[in-house]
Amino acid sequence: MHGDRQVNKVFTRIFAIFWKDVLTELRTKEFVVSVLVFALLVLVIFSFAFGARTETTELVAPGILWVALTFGGVLGFNRIFAVEKENSRLEGLMLCPVDRAVIYWGKLAGSFTFMLVVAVVLTPIFLALFNLPLFLPRLALIIVLATLGFAAVGTLFSAVAINTRARDIMLPILFLPVVVPVIVAAVKATASVLADKPWSDMLTWLQIMIAFDIIYLVVATLVFEFVVEE
Amino acid sequence: MNGGKRLRDSILFGLGLALMMAALYMVFIYVPTEKNAGIVQRIFYFHVPVAWVAFLAFFITFIFSILYLWKRVTKWDAIAHASAEIGVLFTTLVLITGPIWAKPAWGIWWTWDARLTTSLVLWLIYVAYLLVRSFATESARGARYGAVVGIVGFIDVPVVFIAVSLWRTQHPTAIIFEGGLTTPMLMTLVVCVVAFTVLYVLLTIQSANLKAMQANIERLRNIYLE
C-alpha cells in the first residue's frame, strides 16, 4: 500500500512538471508552431534538392521525412531547457523538492508530446505531397518509437547545451551522432512501409528502435542529475 | 613529480621506443609481402593497432567518466579527458590510413561498411565530447558534461554498429583475411599492437598529468587571487 502511494507520488510530480510545460505551450504555441514550420520548410527544400518526382518517391521520400523530423527535433529540443533559462526558471525548477530524475521525466514527457504533435501534423502533409496513401498505422508506430528515442537523448543534451557557449550549435553536435541508429532504423522501416512490404521486413528496425529507447531512457535517467547539479 | 613516477615514465618511454623500432623492422623487413594483396597490405600493421588503441582509449574514457561522476577525483577526470583526446587522434589516423589502404585494395576511398561508418560516427561523438568540454562555461561543469557524453557516447557504439551492419550488409572483411594470417604476419601484428598500446599508455599518462596540473593551478588561483 505504502509502495503504491510512493509510485503515485512520483507520477503526480512528473505530471505536474509536464502540465506546466503543456500550459505554457498552449498559451504561447512556441514549440509546435516554430518546429512545424521549420520541418515543413526542410521537407520542401529537400524535395527541390533531390528533384523529387513520382519515379523517385520510394528512394528519397523516407529520407526526406526523417531529415525534416530530425532537424525539426534539434530546433525543438533546444527550446526545452532554453525557455527555463529566462527569469531564472531553471533555479525554481531545481528547487522543487523532487528527485532530479523526476524533473527529467517531466521535461521528457513535454518534449516527446510536442514532437509527436509536430509529427502527427507533418506526416499527412508529407504523404499528400508525395501522393502516398494517407492511412498508415505502421508508420505511426515507427514515428512513436523514433520520437521517443529522439526525445530521450534530446532532453538530456538540451540540459547540457544551455550551460555552454554557442548553445544553439552545441545541441546538434551532441545530438546527431548519438541518434544515428534511430535515423537509420526509422528511414529503413519507413521505406519498408511505403513499399507495402510485410511486417517481418521492418521487425528488425523496430527492435533496434525499442532497444535504443530503453537504453537511453535508463542511461539518461541515471546521468541527468550530474548535468543539473548546481 | 616524484622519483618513482619519473622512473616508471622512463621505463615506459624506453620500452615504447624499443617496441616501435622492432615494429618498424618487422613491418618493413621481416614480414613477407602478402601474395595477393601486394605491398600495400603492410599498412595493415599500422591500421589495425591504431584502430585498437582508438577503441581502447574510448573505453578508458568511459570507465574513468563513470569513476569521476561517482567519486569526483580530479585526476580521474584528467585521465578520461586525455584518453578521449588521444582516442580522437587515433580515430583520425584510422580514418586516414583506411582510405589509403582501401583505394588500392578495393578501388574506392570509402564504403559505407559497418566498421568504417561506426568509426566515423565514433569520431563525431568524441569530437563533440572535446567541444562540449571547451565550450562549457566553467571547467567543473565541463568535466561533468564531458563525463556524461563519455558515458552516453560509448554506450551508443554497439547500437550504431548493429544498425549500420544491417543497413549495409556487404562486408569486405573476407578480403583482408583471405587465406588467414601466417605466423610471421601474426607476430608482426602482435608486436605492433603492443607497441601502439605502450605508446597510448605513455601519451595518456603525460597528458593526464598535464591536465591535473592545470586543474590544480586553476584551483590555487581561485583560492589565492580571488
Three-class SS of chain A: CHHHHHHHHHHHHHHHHHHHHHHHHHHHCHHHHHHHHHHHHHHHHHHHHCCCCHHHHHHHHHHHHHHHHHHHHHHHHHHHHHHHHHHHHHHHHHCCCCCHHHHHHHHHHHHHHHHHHHHHHHHHHHHHHCCCCCCCHHHHHHHHHHHHHHHHHHHHHHHHHCCECCHHHHHHHHHHHHCHHHHHHHHHHHHHHHCCCCHHHHHHHHHHHHHHHHHHHHHHHHHHHHHCCC
Give the Cα separation of A113 and A26 in Å (integer).
12
Residues of B in contact with A170 (CB under 8 A): 131-132, 135
Q: Residue B136 forms beta bridges with which residues?
A: A164
Give the Cα separation of A71 and A83 in Å (integer).
19
Give the Cα separation of B42 and B47 in Å (integer).
9
Give the Cα separation of B150 and B138 in Å (integer).
18
pLDDT in tens, A1-42: 566 788 888 899 999 999 999 999 999 888 999 999 999 999
The answer to whether the Cβ–Cβ distance between A178 and B156 falls below 8 Å is yes
Q: Nearest CB to B148: which of A181, A208, A226?
A: A226
| The three cell numbers locating residue A42 | 526542410
Q: Which amino acid is at B80?
A: A
The answer to whether the Cβ–Cβ distance between B148 and A223 falls below 8 Å is yes
Please name which of A96, A186, A181, A177 lies closest in space to residue B88, comparing C-alpha atoms. Answer: A177
Range from A100-114, A116-130, B104-118, B167-181 carrying the lowest mean pLDDT: B167-181
For A186, name the nearest residue in chain B, comparing CA atoms only.
B163
Give the Cα separation of B66 and B144 in Å (integer).
10
Please, is A43 exposed, middle or buried when counting C-beta atoms within 10 Å of its C-beta (0-12, 13-18, 19+)? buried
Q: pLDDT value at position B170? A: 47
| Helix, strand or coil, per DSSP, at residue B177 | coil
How big is the A-B interface in CB pairs under 8 Å? 85
The answer to whether the Cβ–Cβ distance between B125 and A177 falls below 8 Å is yes
Which residues of chain B register pLDDT less than 50? 170-172, 174
Q: pLDDT value at position A89? A: 84
pLDDT in tens, B113-167: 888 889 999 999 999 999 999 998 888 889 999 999 999 999 998 999 888 888 8
Q: At what angle do helices A57-85 and A100-129 cross, to 10 degrees?
A: 150
The answer to whether the Cβ–Cβ distance between B124 and A208 falls below 8 Å is no
Please name which of B40, B16, B132 lies closest in space to residue A167, comparing C-alpha atoms. Answer: B132
ipTM, two decimals, is: 0.89
Give the Cα separation of B16 and B12 in Å (integer).
6
pLDDT surpassing 90 at residue A119:
yes
Q: Nearest CB to A180: which of B144, B149, B160?
A: B160
Share of chain A above pLDDT 70, in %: 98
Kindly report the pTM of this predicted structure.
Answer: 0.90
The answer to whether the Cβ–Cβ distance between B156 and A181 falls below 8 Å is yes
Q: pLDDT value at position A126? A: 92
Q: Which amino acid is at A101?
A: A
CATH number of the structural domain B16-224: 1.20.120
Give the Cα separation of B216 and B202 in Å (integer).
21
Residue A64: CA atoms inside 13 Å, Cβ hemisphere, count?
27
The answer to whether the Cβ–Cβ distance between B135 and A176 falls below 8 Å is no
